[in-house]
Copies of this chain bind each other. A is one copy, B any other.
Amino acid sequence: MTGRIDIGILGATGAVGQRMVQLLDGHPWFRIAEVAASERSSGKPYGEAANWYLPGGIPSEVRDLKVKGCDEKFESRVLFSGLDATVAGDIESRLRKAGHAISTNSRNHRMDPDVPLVIPEVNPEHLGAIPRQKKDHGGFIVSNPNCTVVGLTIPLAPLQAAFGIRQVVVVSMQASSGAGYPGVPSMDLIDNVIPHIPGEEQKIPTESLKILGRYADGGFHPAVFPISASVNRVPVLDGHTESIFVQLEKPARPEEVIETMERFHGIPQERKLPTAPEKPLVVFRQADRPQPRKDRDLGRGMTVSVGNVRQDEAFSVKFTSCSHNTIRGAAGAAILNAELLREEGYLE
């Protein structure tokens, strides 16, 4: 545990920030040196400021850290951001200007033309945009995608590489924790489905196509195929489930699709990054899996699972995917991105 890099967490008391604190506890490369939150929490010890909602209690090495305001100066060069989108844009821009390397889960800069939107197994080469961003701004921002995009993009990536993709339809059944805390009132979710999440649907094609696109000639070139999305909130605590239909460019039988998915891996697996799951994608042969409560914790929440892969009359293949929305879909994604940054030398 010697030689760990000191890091700071922005928005450390929120739902994503708490997950970051939990996942970074005992991390071999990073040490939580600073935690920051809104003015209301600033000055209090973290253990008092955070309304801790996760099982297992607040890690002891963080409990007594004094919470800073997000407008203060940070000693740590590397920052993780779980800030709410209402404030993340400006705070992250200011800290980038101050030279920080920021791994953020916030949506604000995801579609910026010079900010890589990265899933380490899928598009690590997008980090190539960092030197230019640094030159222009002093520091740099790397974003991870929206939680729903993760459960779609990770299974699509190997299919795109092997067969090409012509069209995608995705319907999500998203967990309560995706809305943050306090989020969705229980009166709205007991015995109910809410068939709408403000602002969510639009992000799915936009972010997915940026990730599945190329970085070349100093710019991002998004993939070009239609993604039709419809999003729903269901009475599940953690774990987004998605029904996905894919039209491939080249014909493929379900069994080939399964094998292609099962072979999928990337730099995190090859270099054994600390937060990397053994497999980024597992495929169930049972028709009734994956299920969020049973499968969200696979690979300590970093493995996306797929199942019920089958033929469809109008599409090449259809299947279900499931991913842990606050781990692989948020806090764990930002941490894996930072691990990739260090591995690739961007934190030196």
Residues of A at the B interface (CB closer than 8 Å) are 15, 53-56, 167, 169, 171, 173, 176-177, 181-196, 198, 205, 226-228, 230, 232, 234-237, 241, 243, 245, 287-295, 297, 307-308, 312-315, 318, 320
Contact = CB atoms under 8 A, between A and B. Distances in A.
B228 A191 contact: no
B191 A190 contact: yes
A299 to B, nearest CB: 11
Interface centre among A181, A191, A295 (most CB of B within 10 A): A191
Contacts of A232: 173, 241, 243, 320
Contact of A190 (B176, B182, B313): B176
A192 B320 contact: no
A252 to B, nearest CB: 17
Closest 7 A-B residue pairs measured CB to CB? Answer: A226-B314, A171-B171, A182-B185, A230-B243, A195-B320, A196-B288, A192-B293
Contact of A177 (B187, B195, B236, B315): B187
Given A234-B173, A243-B232, A196 B315 contact: no
A152 B232 CA distance: 17
Given A169-B245, A315-B228, A187 B181 contact: yes
Nearest to A57: B298
A128 B294 CA distance: 42
Nearest to A181: B187
A208 B90 CA distance: 52
A315 B181 CA distance: 35
Given A186-B176, A188-B186, A236-B191, A228 B314 contact: yes
A183 B190 contact: no
Given A205-B313, A297-B55, A195 B308 contact: yes
Contacts of A181: 185, 187
Contacts of A228: 169, 245, 312-315, 318
